Amino acid sequence: MKKPEFIPDSPGIYLFKDKVDNIIYVGKSLSLKKRVSQYFMQTDQDTKTKALVKNIANLEYIVTPTEIDALILESNLIKEHRPRYNVNLKDDKQYPFIKITVNEEFPRIFLTRRRVQDSARYFGPYISAWDIRESFKTISKIFKIRQCKKKIRQGGRACLNFQIGLCSAPCSGMIDKEEYHNAVKSTIQFLEGKNEILIHRLKDMMQYYASQQKFEAAASIRDQLQAIESLSRRQQVTGGFNDWDVISIAMGSGIACVQVLYIRDGSLIGHCEFTLDVMGASEQEVMSTFMKQYYRDAPIPTEILMDIMPDDPTIIQWLKSISAGKVDIIIPGRGRKKELVEMASKNAYSVLKMTHLKQERIEKTGSGVLMELKDILGLEKVPEYVEGFDISNIGGTDAVGSMVVFTSGIPDKRRYRHFNIKSVTGIDDPAMMKEIISRRMKWITDKEDTAPDLIIVDGGVQQMNAALSAIQHSGIIVPVIGLAKQFEHIYVPGADIPLILPETSPALNLLKQIRDESHRFAISHHRQRRSSRLRASALDSIPGIGKKRRQMLLTHFGSLKGIETATSDELEQVHGISKIIASAIYNRLHYNRLHNDLSSKSL
């Protein structure tokens, strides 16, 4: 271990390591020599620092030209290594972002749960996945930016999004490059909350197209303006006209909850919560750590409003050095800005309370079980996020797959997914399992989604090996096990014999719960698909019902279910449907419905 007296009196970062060479703390200082020496000389240290010093077995340092350079390097290393004794911002991959690939010739827009260091533009994170999906649909309808990776080819076939009015189809040359880039620019301004600038620019463009007698383009922009103005009226106006971030921190029981409000052009356009492990740190230290980790790749506003100043004076210099303009950190004393900070504070304490309640529930129901599961299966990390998969079919027909998600031992039904089997015919459950796992892995790669900590497949060695093959082919590293129903044996890759746990094991009960839930979810989808197919085929088999009458019935009632629930008199109201045919439809479909209900109960 290097002694403090040999460390240079220069700005830089220092890394404390334990006896197995793990980085346990990363710090920065204007003077490495003075700062590192303090750890070994001070006697009135707090509990956290005492524990840190006790575990230091080695230290390394990196000299930097300035303290701001040290701050940037410190932030990067903390995010990469997540040292035990640093205040760590918990992984925010669960929150969705809107990503625009502005570096591409024809930029794409899509949702992602991972923000990486690239040249793309990110907007978010958004706390509500449902809200951002609804906003994303609206943005797609207004601006029609492409979402897929389809190759740009003049005259090629346009994607499905173009057919349903959600894309301008640059892939097939339906829009020229300049017009498309204008749409991308408008989208970015909209997401930045700069609606007044956007509306003014679109009005100018609409007048220009009208003067050039390009009336379709002018009408399209008119429709965009109406949609944007409608959305703007629904935004909450806060009374200011600058870009602000409002930050407040609530601390308690070893964690801190940070609330961030996003104010753009006087409008509250969003908010987000973050959680940090604080390890006994002060509020000022927590604020510093949050700002350094958050603003390393987040947009920087002109003003940051908060209720407590960070303890690191170099943060404001760093923010100014990486932003395009003026940046101020303010603790407001009165007026609307103070009200916003108080709003953020109330929300932060509310989230902190909910976090504590959730932790208590997890500790009572799942935490110990997950630790037991980690030890039993030899996993590298506690399986907080688990996905379960199953296949359902009868004789190889209407084959479907299911994916269920358990977070901290609790079902997360918003993330459940169904799969209709596409590439496998006949009865081949392992091949079907390989297909759905392959599709799930591809989704994780393409959409930059979060990979699970563990995958559980319903079945034995064959199903497990099929899933393992799909995972290995994807290049993603995810542990996988199989759980067979007959004896509740646990199959682990590389093991010669299955793992057998006692019936009273909480870990086994959790695995069974996940397996059974994936089975239930697969069965429910299979029943729906089979029932829908039988109803459709029943309609085709009724004498007098051909393609034309079938289409007329579907148009009138909207769906097969609508036809099925209609009375004989209601069926007769459809043009071209006589009383005799209406009666035949009613009797056939009601008989089939009763038959399907009885057969479903027997599954």
CA distances from 469 to 421, 441, 464 (A): 18, 11, 9
Same domain for 330 and 469: no
Same domain for 80 and 35: yes
**CATH number for the domain including 50?**
3.40.1440.10
Region of residue 475 (left: phi > 0; alpha: psi -120 to 50; beta: else): left
Q: What is the pLDDT of residue 152?
A: 80
**CATH number for the domain including 591?**
1.10.150.20
Q: Residue 463 corresponds to which amino acid?
A: Q
| Residue partners of 417: CB distance under 8 A and separation at least 6 | 402, 403, 440
Does a structural domain hold residue 484? Answer: yes
Which has the higher per-residue pLDDT, 277 or 36?
36
Residues present in the chain in total: 603
What is the C-alpha separation between 483 and 502, in angstroms, rounded? Answer: 14
Does a structural domain hold residue 314? Answer: yes
Backbone angles phi, psi at 396, to 5 degrees: 85, 0
Q: Which domain-ending residue is among 66, 86, 106?
A: 86
Same domain for 382 and 503: yes
Helix axes 177-191, 195-211, angle to 10 degrees: 160
Same domain for 563 and 489: no
Across the chain, mean pLDDT equals 81
SS3 sequence, 322-359?
HCCCCCEEECCCCHHHHHHHHHHHHHHHHHHHHHHHHH
Does a structural domain hold residue 111? Answer: no
CA distances from 352 to 257, 346, 362 (A): 6, 10, 15
Bridge-partner residues for 457, per DSSP?
Answer: 389, 482
Same domain for 500 and 383: yes
Does a structural domain hold residue 191? Answer: no
Which has the higher per-residue pLDDT, 139 or 23?
23
Which has the higher per-residue pLDDT, 125 or 317?
317
Same domain for 255 and 401: no
Q: DSSP 3-state helix, strand, coil percentages of the chain (rounded to 5)? A: 50, 20, 35
Helix, strand, or coil here: 231?
helix
Predicted confidence (pLDDT) per residue in 431-464, tens digit = 999 999 999 999 998 887 889 999 999 999 999 9
How many independent structural domains does the chain possess?
4
What is the percent of the chain where pLDDT is above 70?
84
Same domain for 519 and 379: yes
Q: Residue 33 corresponds to which amino acid?
A: K
Please tell me the pTM assigned to this model: 0.43
Mean pLDDT, range 14-26, rounded to an integer: 87
Q: Which domain-ending residue is among 35, 64, 86?
A: 86
Predicted confidence (pLDDT) per residue in 506-565, tens digit = 889 999 999 999 999 998 887 777 666 655 556 766 777 887 887 788 778 777 777 878
Q: What is the pLDDT of residue 297?
A: 62
Same domain for 379 and 504: yes
Supply angle C-alpha 561, 567, 569, rounded to 5.
Answer: 135
Does a structural domain hold residue 273? Answer: yes
Same domain for 443 and 353: no
Same domain for 336 and 298: yes
Q: What is the pLDDT of residue 573?
A: 87
Region of residue 396 (left: phi > 0; alpha: psi -120 to 50; beta: else): left
Does a structural domain hold residue 207? Answer: no
What is the percent of the chain where pLDDT is above 90?
20
End-to-end Cα, the chain, rounded Å: 68
Minimum mean pLDDT range among 126-140, 205-219, 389-403, 484-498: 126-140
Maximum CA pair distance of the chain?
A: 101
Which has the higher per-residue pLDDT, 215 or 228?
215
**CATH number for the domain including 289?**
3.30.420
Q: Which domain-ending residue is among 495, 527, 559?
A: 527
Per-residue pLDDT band for 19 (boundaries 50, 70, 90) equals confident
- Domain housing 411: 372-527
> If 0-12 CB within 10 Å is exposed, 13-18 middle and 19+ buried, where does residue 149 land?
exposed
**CATH number for the domain including 512?**
3.30.420.340
Backbone angles phi, psi at 428, to 5 degrees: -150, 80
Does a structural domain hold residue 133? Answer: no
Backbone angles phi, psi at 399, to 5 degrees: -70, 135
Predicted confidence (pLDDT) per residue in 104-135, tens digit = 989 999 988 776 667 788 876 665 566 677 67
Which has the higher per-residue pLDDT, 283 or 362?
283
Residue 240 has pLDDT above 50, yes or no: no
Does a structural domain hold residue 460? Answer: yes
Mean pLDDT, range 124-153, rounded to an integer: 75
Q: What is the pLDDT of residue 603?
A: 42
Mean pLDDT, range 141-162, rounded to an integer: 82
Tokens at residue 412, please?
Answer: 């997360």
Same domain for 490 and 400: yes
Residue 87 has pLDDT above 80, yes or no: no
Same domain for 514 and 559: no
CA distances from 542 to 43, 123, 404, 567, 582 (A): 91, 54, 39, 16, 10
